Amino acid sequence: MADIKKSQHGEWSSRFAFILAATGSAVGLGNIWKFPYITGENGGGAFVVVYLLCVLAIGIPIMIAETMLGRRGRQSPINTMSDLADEAGAHKNWHYIGWLGVIAGFLILAYYSVIAGWALSYVLKALTGSFSGGNPETMGALFKGLMDSPVQQVFWHSVFMAATMFIVARGVSGGLEKAVRFLMPTLFVLLILLVGYAMTTGYYMQGLEFLFKPDFSEIDGHAILTAMGHAFFTLSLGMGAIMVYGSYLPKHISIAKTSIIISCADTAVALLAGMAIFPIVFANGLEAGSGPGLIFQTLPIAFGNMTGGWLFGILFFILLSFAALSSSISLIEPAVAYLVENKNIARQKACIWAGLITWGLGVTVAFSFNIWSGFTIFGKGIFDLLDYLTANLMLPIGGFCIAIFAGWVMKPEDSKHELEMTNPQIYEAWKFLVSYVAPAAVFIVFLNVIGILG
């Protein structure tokens, strides 16, 4: 089946294009916004070591599995899982994995685009000198002003969604590939520039020591589970993005090698972000473990009080916006691919429908911070509810099911044929990790996030 099937959406022109696209999907707000502050909250270097081990044992095996399923099916995640279940002689209900991923990506983008809008607005704030001479009170008021303004939030959310849909509407080669060929190299250049600035602060070695010198007395069960969960989520697994990108992967390209490269590049971005951020934090006497406000409230204080801070503030929030955009195009792609395949409509029309629905849901997310702040479902506002449903429930379930399908349901001869690993011992190692280690680890994370553990 896999040898004769072609994706109707096109293919990546090269392995490099796929690596850029999948790395762009993985690299996002989680690497630059979340990784530094959870590292700060969980003891620094020891947490990084645990995180890297989790990427190796969980993230890479599941990424290989999801990419493999995508390339073998050559369709949207929903249709891919339906066909692969038939091929394996399994129950047709396995196609719900595809539905779960498509819906999760759709819901994530609805609130992700709002946060990305914050980053875009901060580019303008940095450009107009809003950070100058900032202190905790003024930066807190600046962020609160954004949160309290439905007009500002909807405007920036709309700008970000328009950029996302413009790229996706242009297709695999004309849109997705061209975008990541610009976005990803630019992102790395901006990060390196910020690391270069961090070297001039006088606190660079302190930042490196915090990030890379492990003190395992700082590690507890919660830190291990946090590292495990972040290693899984930061690679964009379980949401259909890697599966649909895998469906555009040419047959001759090694899935295992590219998955390892993508995971290493994603991890490198997270580490570079820490190398850029922690020296700046320490140089300004700020708190490394200051939580989610590290990016939007703590760092602007540093940018507002250092030489050339206005420039590096602009560069940093452009970087954050680019990282968000490279992820957002992969979040909506599974839904667009499904509409094209199943509803027989043009890609541009599919983008308009998917984009408008996502935009509308995103507007309710923006309102949840201000005019609808009192509205809750099960005790959670719209933003918190979507975040909880996707990150804590849908993605772990999706990742768990992908690992089980690849390890237990798919015929070994089919996975061997698709992966084409020349060394049988490497195949057996992957098979063991994806069949036993990854599902068990994801299951433990799932129990933790729903409150049964920890």
Which residue do the tokens 């395949």 mark? 341
**Mean pLDDT, range 257-279, rounded to an integer:** 91
pLDDT digits (tens, 9 = 90+) for 204-261: 999 999 898 888 887 877 788 788 778 777 888 888 889 999 999 988 899 999 999 9
271 within some domain: yes
Q: Please work out, in degrees rounded to the nearest 5, the angle formed at the alpha carbon of residue 245 by the alpha carbons of 406 and 19.
A: 105
Instruction: State the pLDDT at residue 281.
Output: 83
What band does 119 get if pLDDT is binned at 50, 70 and 90? very high
- Residue 260 is given by DSSP the state H
Number of domains in the chain: 1
Where does residue 164 rank: exposed (0-12), middle (13-18), buried (19+ CB within 10 A)?
Answer: buried
Task: Give the number of residues written for the chain.
Answer: 454
Mean confidence (pLDDT) of the chain: 88
304 within some domain: yes
What band does 402 get if pLDDT is binned at 50, 70 and 90? very high
Q: What percent of the chain has pLDDT over 70?
A: 97
Alpha helices, DSSP H only, in 306-411?
309-343, 347-367, 382-387, 395-404
Are 115 and 384 a contacting pair, CB within 8 Å?
Answer: no
317 within some domain: yes
Classify each residue of 357-388 as buried b or exposed e, where b means 16 or more C-beta atoms within 10 Å of its C-beta.
ebbebbbbbbbbbeeeeeeeeeeebbbbbbbe
What band does 449 get if pLDDT is binned at 50, 70 and 90? low
Instruction: State the pLDDT at residue 450.
Output: 67
Note down the domain range covering 349.
15-449
**Mean pLDDT, range 321-336, rounded to an integer:** 90
Q: Which residues contact 103 (CB under 8 A, 6 or more apart)?
A: 394
454 within some domain: no
CATH number at residue 418: 1.20.1740
7 within some domain: no
* 3-state SS assignment for residue 410: coil
325 within some domain: yes
Q: Is 451 left (phi over 0), alpha (psi -120 to 50) or beta?
A: left
257 within some domain: yes
**Mean pLDDT, range 88-101, rounded to an integer:** 94
CA torsion angle 149 151 155 158 (round to 10)? 100
Nearest alpha-carbon partner for 369 in 163, 151, 134: 151
Please list the residues that pair with 380 across neighbouring strands: 377
Residue 428 has pLDDT above 80, yes or no: yes
The shares of helix, strand and coil residues in the chain, as percent rounded to the nearest 5, are: 80, 0, 20
Instruction: State the pLDDT at residue 187.
Output: 85
Structure tokens at 224: 């291990």
Structure tokens at 444: 């433990």
* 3-state SS assignment for residue 286: coil
Q: How far apart are CA 138 and CA 130, in angstroms?
A: 9
9 within some domain: no
**Mean pLDDT, range 295-300, rounded to an integer:** 82
Instruction: State the pLDDT at residue 2.
Output: 44
Residue 1 has pLDDT above 50, yes or no: no
